[in-house]
Chain A
Amino acid sequence: MKEHLKKSMRSDFAFDLIVNVLGACVILVVLIPLLFVLAASFSDPDLVLRGKVLLLPKGFTTKAYTMVFENGEIWRGFRNSCCYTAAGTLISVVLTILAAYPLSRKELPGRNIFMMLILFTMYFSGGMIPTYLLVRDLGMYNSVWALLIPAAISTYNLIVAKTFFENNIPGELYESARLDGCGNVSMLPRIVLPLSKAILAVLVLYYAVGIWNAYFDALIYIRDTSLHPLQIVLRNILLLGQTEQMGTNDVGMAEKIKMAEAVKYSAIVVSSVPMLLIYPFVQKYFVKGVMVGAVKG
């Protein structure tokens, strides 16, 4: 018996070791690319180009950040994206809750039909052209609304929220509220929402990240460069190789392109930081929210 226990403990120890080593590997794999970008953003671009930078900055400089901050377009995009994200998240969360709460009420007649109607749109859509024509007919073209309204609800998020309400708000609670004379509508702010901080955190995070990172709708619907979100500006800099326009003279081109290489990294960092910063704040609720909301899928 003792022998047996000893053996199992030894194998247990080995198992733990393997698990921890694997865990460490996962962390490394995820972190190395991020650290590289961070290190490169603080390094002398020349050393980056020559491949001397790995995980720690070499030839420390903040010049790249100065350049990013001095760039009017990036700043404007940054401001725009902040506004869009704030407004869009609010609209999206409200609409999602307005759909998820009634649909979570099991006694609502016809809720399955509504749910089917909604689910169907996950797999069938009219495609880009009819949607574009619609947005234009609604007069949203080249306005902020085109970024906020047509993509306001994500059906996936709606399902997550609905499932959360179904599983977390016991039916008896509704019953007792009704006995207290509380209507179906006022139950939402009085009973449901106070119990749903976790799912609100999930929705806020999902939508905020989605809106912050979106670039495609802006490409299609926004003509005015002064309304462009950060991702569009970023795409121009990072992927279309237009960084040279930030430079000044053709004569200094080689120098500029080298610098542009460095701006790449700092631009990535600057654009990603806001979302990474939100996360810790909502994290407390977040993990719980996703877990409970998602169990049923």
Chain B
Amino acid sequence: MRVRKVWKNIKKNVGLYAMLAIPLAWYIIFKYIPMYGLQIAFRKFNPTLGITKSPWAGLTYFEQFFHSYYFKDILWNTVSLSLFTMLIGFPMPIILALLINEVKNTKFKKVIQNITYMPNFLSVVVIVSMLTIFSNRDYGLFNKIGSLFGMTPVDLMSKPACFQPLYVFSNVWQFMGFNAIIYIAALAGVDQELYEAASIDGASRMQKILHISLPCIMGTIIIMFIMRIGSLMSVGFEKAYLMQNSVNMSRSEIISTFIYKNGIQKGQFGYSTAVGLFNSVINFALLVGANFASKKMTKTSLW
């Protein structure tokens, strides 16, 4: 009886399934079939034998990675860059959204919004070349501003210590406005009566932000936060790769660039796939963990 009902239900939705079939096929072909290739991580890949016939290598590649002299550095570079990006990059859009929400003049509000979105449209290539240009010791913008404050000019791109700040702050610069949209939207949805009630109680503007605005968008913030944790280990490969040079390597080498250089450029396919798998597993574990914690503590969760 129940089976029949389900069957009827499915039949009723045949059209929807037919639509869904196309993108679903895409997911299976381009996302799931390659996952099958992950076994390269455990095999000594030999192209003539193909993925499934190459001899097993066990955990050799994982051991090789863990024992590599640079393992700790790379892991730390990845994690610290990620944490740093999150620490600065996560709250900035929220603050900006709160700021924009407080601006009374609608025209000015629009101007701020539109201008802060702009950098989002620039490509990584453009952003990195701008960084390179601005970091130049002789004519770079950063050094010109720095010299106003009496700093000695240095080429920032070739200072390992500058890699992370450059990366993080340019990220903030580029995405702050765009990432703020979501919070601005959430803020727009806050019930105006709450503010009015607070005004009658004599709350100051700052108090209203802290006790009304912020709590009201907390749900959105938490969801965004969990999603960020889930990609903690996958900080943007392209940007780090383009920003790399032989001098800042000690700080700029992260897992994804390491995989690229050793796996794709030098042909150690098994090794690089193993490192990539390690990365994915950690990401996934972090995501599940963060979601679990959030469910327990705030009752908000992704699923």
- B residues near A29, Cβ cutoff 8 Å: 173
- Residue among B51, B122, B269 having the largest count of chain A Cβ atoms under 10 Å: B122
- With CB as the reference atom, state the residue of chain B lying closest to A292: B185
B15 and A184 within 8 A (CB)? yes
Residue interface bits B185-212, CB-to-A below 8 A is 1, else 0: 1101100000000000010111000000
- With CB as the reference atom, state the residue of chain A lying closest to B119: A30
Which stretch, B71-79, B80-88, B132-140, B159-167, touches the partner chain A?
Answer: B132-140
CB distance from A158 to the nearest CB of B (A): 8
- With CB as the reference atom, state the residue of chain A lying closest to B33: A134
B125 is contacted by which of A12, A114, A239 (Cβ under 8 Å)?
A239
B27 and A36 within 8 A (CB)? no
The CA-CA distance from A99 to B230 in the complex, in Å, is: 23
B263 is contacted by which of A117, A129, A297 (Cβ under 8 Å)?
A129
The CA-CA distance from A254 to B90 in the complex, in Å, is: 44
B26 and A27 within 8 A (CB)? no
The CA-CA distance from A264 to B132 in the complex, in Å, is: 11
Residue interface bits A246-271, CB-to-B below 8 A is 1, else 0: 00000000000000000011001001
A271 and B204 within 8 A (CB)? no
CB distance from B237 to the nearest CB of A (A): 8
The CA-CA distance from A114 to B22 in the complex, in Å, is: 13
A59 within 8 A of B: no
- A residues near B104, Cβ cutoff 8 Å: 16
Tell me the dominant secondary structure on chain A's binding face.
helix
Residue interface bits B171-188, CB-to-A below 8 A is 1, else 0: 001000100011011101
B binding-site residues for A, Cβ under 8 Å: 6, 9-10, 13, 15-20, 22-24, 26-27, 29-38, 40, 51, 96, 99-100, 102-105, 108, 111-126, 128-130, 132-134, 138-141, 144, 173, 177, 181-182, 184-186, 188-189, 202, 204-206, 220, 223-224, 227, 230-231, 238, 242, 259-260, 263-264, 269, 272-273, 276-277, 280, 283-284, 287, 303
- A selection of 22 A-B contacts at a CB cut-off of 8 Å is A8-B204, A15-B204, A23-B108, A27-B116, A30-B173, A31-B115, A36-B141, A109-B10, A117-B24, A123-B283, A127-B259, A130-B33, A130-B37, A134-B30, A149-B30, A184-B15, A188-B19, A213-B123, A215-B123, A220-B264, A291-B182, A297-B224
Shortest 4 CB-CB contacts between residues of A and residues of B: A130-B37, A126-B34, A291-B185, A213-B123
A binding-site residues for B, Cβ under 8 Å: 4, 8, 11-12, 15-16, 19-20, 22-23, 26-27, 29-34, 36-37, 48-51, 54, 95-96, 98-99, 101-103, 105, 107-110, 114, 116-119, 121-131, 133-134, 149-150, 152-153, 158, 183-185, 188, 209, 212-213, 215-216, 220, 231, 234-235, 238-239, 264-265, 268, 271-272, 275-276, 279, 283, 287, 290-292, 294-297
